[in-house]
Structure 1
């Protein structure tokens, strides 16, 4: 890395030119992370400058592509951050993340008894953490007990409901975040958005629930031929650091657990959510059929016999069956309406990749 420091003639602005060129003795990942840290440091520096008349920085990044042609990325900072947006502090970014009270409790959640016990043990870990690790000295065995959990399994199997139930039991709000809230068209912003997400959860004393977590915590990019990939690896590095420092509860939900970066696996406890058994399907059917819904010839046992469907599928089938009944000008929903809709959903699931986990 080389740099020049000079003042333009007749101009009080101090200018810096920084050039970064890849050394082939350095791995691509290390090079990407180093470059990302330089960019972040420059942004922090420019954010502290009171006027854009005081400082100007120009950065160029060069590397060799697979065709041996030099690839360059040029960025400039003029009292603003490298993305060109007005600088925002972490506190300002954190305002975009808002927590809310949990909507469901353990009475509503229908999962196997063994999984329910594991979920309830999360509450025990939070409640009795000092007793277990300090008084009983389990910190001598596990000095850094994890409060990060990965709920994985097919869509619609209760991962989000379980997070709500845990927050309800702990009497704390939930901060629900999706990858789209972190992703920015300026990739350098993603790491800051992720850090602000954790800050917001700490501010509200909230359970942090990250949906679509496989997108956010997926394997780090190792092919650094594109400029955006510097920001992606910076995001991974920020997540690793922040998740270690965060003292609250973090729950990830993913359908593609195999995509989670290996660096995160030792920091998480994994809980698998399976499609419901016949007994659980029967409970879910009964729970989702409102008492006000007019029904004819209902056989919940027959409905529950339709396998390979999730709780979300059952909920959708009930709504669609009511719509079908009104389409046919019926005054009630009958058994055939419900069977038709749940079988339609099952067939659709079987003909797509939606169910893959």
Structure 2
């Protein structure tokens, strides 16, 4: 049976009604088995880490009034280790399940293809029978290069699936890219024109883009450093505000540690530091709680975080210059939590990355533009 599948002519794989199920190919079975095994072990590891964290918290509650310095030191290290290991397992765990779900009910279809790359962006262009472009897929995994002439794809070109080199043994998650290579080139050309306007030297690639794409008016990104609607310089303020927020959130974590310390009021009142028993296990949850409250609730109400407020900045929606809602800010915070998966893992990322990095401008510029506070 395996020999018969290897001898199926390529023409039969151009029709999903005649092509065999993708999961029936021996190479695909083997690759999927490996991916699912890794995901299963990672999922079990993440569950075990959650169980360890719950056990630690139960022990903390049970020993709240009896905890000593020794218990605090013992609990802090396992908590941090369990969180780091659990988060790493969580990043890896979804890959095999995504591939298994993508293969379910689909066949490998052999597509003529073209590989396109611009910097760190890579596309696989699926070419239809008439030579027209059918879809652009995100080509991660380093499986394809300029010599790629055909690929195997299982799924829906408009919603994503799996890509492989001919043979079906390389499983690469592929999501559709709404930004085509030509759109990306035009975007890079706009950036090159900005570099030229600043008088900075251009690279050979930027010179090619400037010559190929004449400068045109582009959609305004409110609050960008080049946005003349907010003329006050703010690059340094943004950097300092970011650093201030980080320090403030970490300080809140240590404040939670102090507040969780047994009898800390008596310790401070009598300055009896020998009784000071810091609960280091509360540093991380205090830090996370401060981060999400400051960047979502506080920023939704006052349009600024503590750090931005110190340096006179407010945050805007880049598409229209309005203030972001709580749900938009929560989405941004959760995306930043998910961001390591798109960088370190094989997860899909947004095409409009700038929508998740909200610009900050001087409050005085907002007042001058007569925008409501």
TM-score of the pair, normalised by structure 2:
0.21
- Asked which structure has the greater RCO (Cα within 8 Å, sep 6+), the reply is 1
Determine which structure has the larger strand proportion and give its number.
Answer: 1
Task: Compare the two structures and name the one with the higher helix fraction.
Answer: 2
TM-score, normalised to structure 1, is 0.22
